[in-house]
Amino acid sequence: MIPRTIAAAVAGLLALTACSSSGSSPASAPNLTPGATTSATPSSTPTAVKRGPTTVAAFDRQHLSWRSCHDGLECTTLLVPLDYTNPSGRRLHIAVIRERATGSSRGSLIINPGGPGASGVDFVVQAASVFNQLTTHYDLVSFDPRGVGASDPIRCLTSAQLDAYVNVDPIPTTAAQRRAVVDAGRHFANACYRRNGSYLEHVGTKDQARDMDVLRAALGDSKLTYYGASYGTYLGAKYAELFPTHIRAMVLDGALNPAESATAQNLVQAKGFETDLQDFLSFCVRSHRCPFGASTSTANQALDSLIQRVTQHPLQVGSRTVGLGEFFNGLAAGLYSTGDWSQLQSVLGAAQSGNGAGVLLFADQLTGRNNDGSYNNLIESNMAINCIDRPWPRSTAVYEQKAAQFAKVAPHFGAAIEYGSMPCAFWRVPPVEPTHAISAPGAPPILVIGTTRDPATPFVWAQALAHQLSSGVLLTHDGDGHTAYIDRNACVDAIVADYVFTLKTPAPGTVCH
């Protein structure tokens, strides 16, 4: 999930909610949620196909025509119905990528890297090696979900408009600043509807889960073997709810809590980022090279002073500025992986000296901004999916009240995350379903992994999801950072491999350090 520091309103892509039902670090591959670049040419209009399947069963039986791509990988296009209640109507093209198993293949391992809005195709291109332990006997397969990347992407704003949106103050303190947040949210929602219309009704996770079942069938797999990270855990849980008997093995790493309201998720995520920020500042102090001082109290004071300076005098980086929107996106992005903490420490030190270039690098990874100033569609698809997956408050006053409350328990991230969801107050299409728990009776054991100090998907969500699922098994990773398997924890890796290959689950209460 990406944080939605209003900045990119998102930024959230987990937006700071990323998770907002809604991964690794921007500075180094692999990059889960924060957004890999995509080479796809955006187009907001679903493709009309005159010939092809007219029933869901026929979509399941379609033949996939693979072609070589990306130096040794294979790519294809999956046809799915725009509306599963009318499978003979318009169709969408879903971009799919595959890396063949290095040994004898037992089927496919379908993965989703998070978001919502992250490109599965780009993730495999950049980080397929993360799964080398599993691809000895499984073809690695991923896809750009509908509305994302190369799969009929949602587009709402121009690049210049996205720059302006990211630059909006994520922690408004005056009436004028609060009006700016509201106006930005309203403009975003209206622009999305103008450019996409009723297509927005069909990009939710429920339809993505149906697409994944079509992909499973088209690949020739009788059962699904799946790994989902961050938001990908919500996609997996939704699949389990719809198709519990179609699952062979399912790993949900960095879980979301489907039963929690959107506003409650924002609060929990804000606390998660706040906790990880304090762990980062402690790390900084222990390094003896911390630009913020020699104690955590002085480090907090120095960070707050820097935030004040950026508020009053945004940093100039060429033709761009680093205001609070960019600053909080960069700070949040640097917290996703402990492997980036040393670099984040240096970046913040440079910002103290007036150099915001490093902050922009982190922020741009989180928001999907390319070197040429263009954006992939991470921000737009993230918002579109989040806003229809579950109900959101429709009164702007509620966001203002909650932001003030959240700031008391998460002073750095609470308000930013809540205000980052403002476009959902103005969304022009209704949510696809009410918020509810997912139980998935009839599913085989599902492995749920939670990291105790995960900033984007806090550990309490993994506990909740494992409890909700009729067959959920919780594996605890005691550590910092977002997700565990992709962060290469040896204990987690071994348990995941054993589960995927043999379906053996860890003993209750297992903790990896």
Give the tens place of pLDDT for each residue, 58-110. Answer: 999 999 999 999 999 999 999 999 999 999 999 999 999 999 999 999 999 99
Domain 1-49+99-513 architecture? 3-Layer(aba) Sandwich (3.40)
Residue 505 pLDDT > 60: yes
Q: CB-hemisphere CA count at 13 Å for 508?
A: 4
Q: What is the per-residue pLDDT for 36?
A: 34
pLDDT at 321 over 90: yes
What does the mean pLDDT of the chain come to?
Answer: 91
pLDDT of residue 177: 96
46, 283 Cβ separation under 8 angstroms: no
Q: Which helix (H) or strand (E) holds 365?
A: helix 357-367
The reported pLDDT for the residue numbered 3 is 40
- Pull the structure tokens for residue 260: 């929690």
Helix (H) or strand (E) holding 76: strand 73-81
CA distances from 62 to 79, 175, 190, 206, 268 (A): 8, 56, 37, 21, 42
Look at the alpha carbons of 16, 20, 23, 24 in this order and tell me if their dihedral is positive or negative. Answer: positive
Q: What is the pTM of this model?
A: 0.91
**In whole angstroms, what is the distance from residue 4 CA to residue 379 CA?**
9
pLDDT at position 486 is 84
**pLDDT tens digits for range 439-460:** 999 999 999 999 999 999 999 9
Distances from the Cα of 249 to the Cα of 111, 151, 227, 445, 473, angstroms:
12, 26, 9, 7, 12
Cis peptide before 116 (omega within 30 of 0): yes
Residue 488: predicted pLDDT = 81
Non-local (6+) Cβ contacts of 7 within 8 A are 165, 166, 167, 168, 170, 324, 325, 326, 328, 329, 363, 367, 416, 420
> Which residue is listed with tokens 């995509």?
38
The domain spans of the chain are 1-49+99-513
Q: Is the pLDDT of residue 5 over 70?
A: no
**Per-residue pLDDT at 8 exceeds 50:** no
Is-catalytic flag, 493?
Answer: no
Q: Percent of the chain at pLDDT above 90?
A: 89
Each residue of 217-251: pLDDT tens digit?
Answer: 999 999 999 999 999 999 999 999 999 999 999 99
Residue 39 has pLDDT above 80, yes or no: no
Question: Which one from 21, 44, 230, 421 is the annotated catalytic residue?
Answer: 230
Q: Is 513 a catalytic site residue?
A: no
Question: What is the predicted pLDDT for the residue at 7?
Answer: 30
Confidence of residue 51 (pLDDT cuts 50, 70, 90): low
Q: Is beta strand 91-99 parallel, antiparallel or unpaired with respect to 108-112? A: unpaired
- Residue range 142-159, pLDDT digits in tens: 999 999 999 999 999 999
Closest listed residue to residue 258, CA positions, set 472, 424, 452, 461: 461
How many Å from the N-terminal Cα to the C-terminal Cα in the chain? 23
Helix axes 262-286, 324-335, angle to 10 degrees: 70
33 pLDDT above the threshold of 50: no
Query: What is the CB neighbour count within 10 angstroms for residue 1?
Result: 41
Which entry of 122, 152, 213, 454 is annotated as an active-site residue?
454
What distance in Å separates the CA atoms of residue 454 and residue 272, rounded to the nearest whole number?
6
| Cα–Cα–Cα angle for 365, 269, 355, rounded to 5 degrees | 35
Per-residue CA distances from 340 to 12, 24, 224, 441, 491 (Å)? 19, 9, 33, 40, 21
| pLDDT tens-digit readout, 289-311 | 999 999 999 999 999 999 999 99
488 DSSP assignment: T
Half-sphere exposure of 74 (CA within 13 A, CB side): 13
Look at residues 64, 53, 63, 117 and name the one whose alpha carbon lies nearest to residue 91.
53
Residue 142: active-site member = no
Q: How far is CA 382 from CA 19, 21, 190, in A?
A: 10, 9, 16
Are 363 and 326 in contact by the 8 Å Cβ rule? The answer is yes
Going by the DSSP 8-state scheme, the letter that residue 410 receives in this structure is: S
Indicate if the pLDDT at residue 9 is higher than 60. no
State the average pLDDT over residues 465-485: 96
CA distances 207 to 12, 87, 298, 493, 495, Å, are 22, 12, 49, 30, 31
d(CA 369, CA 340): 19
Mean pLDDT of 330-346: 96
Grade residue 46 by pLDDT with cuts at 50, 70 and 90: low
pLDDT > 70? residue 195: yes
The sign one gets for the Cα dihedral 200, 202, 206, 208 is negative
Here the contacts of 131-137 (C-beta below 8 Å, separation 24 or greater) are: 131/227, 132/102, 133/493, 133/497, 134/109, 134/227, 134/496, 134/497, 134/500, 134/501, 135/99, 135/101, 135/102, 135/109, 136/101, 136/102, 136/103, 137/101, 137/103, 137/104, 137/105, 137/106, 137/501
Q: Please provide residue 496's backbone torsions phi and psi, each rounded to the nearest 5 degrees.
A: -65, -45
* Residues 353-368: b if buried by 16+ CB within 10 A, e if exposed: eeebebbbbbbbbbbb
Task: Average the pLDDT over 328-356 and give the result.
Answer: 96
- Return d(Cα 511, Cα 10) in angstroms, integer: 32
Predicted local distance difference test score (pLDDT) of residue 52? 79
Calpha distance 292→348 (Å, rounded): 9
Over residues 383-391, the mean pLDDT reads: 98
pLDDT, tens digit, 9 for 90 and up, residues 166-186: 999 999 999 999 999 999 999
Residue 487 pLDDT grade (very low, low, confident, very high; cuts 50, 70, 90): confident
Q: Under a CB-based contact definition with an 8 Å cutoff, are residues 482 and 455 in contact?
A: yes
- pLDDT bucket at 400, cuts 50 / 70 / 90: very high
Q: How much of the chain, in percent, has pLDDT values that exceed 70? A: 90
Catalytic residue among 279, 421, 482, 487: 482
Cβ(109)–Cβ(135) under 8 Å?
A: yes
Separation between Cα atoms, residue 276 and residue 268, nearest integer Å = 13
